Homo-oligomer: A and B are copies of this chain.
Amino acid sequence: MICQSKSRSCKLCGSFEQGIFSELPEKELKQLAVYRTANHYNRKQIIFYEGNPALGLFCIRSGKVKLYKSNPEGKQQILRILKEGDTIGQSSLFSNQPLQATAEAIEDSEVCFLDKTGFLLILKNNSSVALKLLRGLSQELIQAEGKALDLAYKSARVRFAELLLTFKEAFGVSEKGSQRLNISLSREELAQTVGTTVETLVRLLSEFRKDGLIEVDKRNISILEPEKLLELTSSGY
A interface, CB within 8 angstroms of B: 69, 71-73, 75, 77, 79, 90-97, 100-101, 123-125, 127, 130-131, 133-135, 137-142, 144-149, 151-154, 195-196, 234, 236
Contact = CB atoms under 8 A, between A and B. Distances in A.
A18 to B, nearest CB: 14
Nearest to A145: B144
Contacts of A72: 234
**Which 5 residue pairs are nearest across A and B when measured between Cβ atoms?**
A152-B195, A144-B144, A91-B138, A95-B138, A151-B151
A144 B148 contact: yes
A197 to B, nearest CB: 10
Contact of A134 (B71, B94, B97, B100): B94
Contact of A135 (B96, B124, B141): B96
Copies in the complex: 2
A135 B146 CA distance: 21
A94 B138 contact: yes
Contacts of A195: 148, 151-153
Nearest to A75: B153
B79 A145 contact: yes
Given A75-B153, A127-B127, A151-B151, A95 B144 contact: no
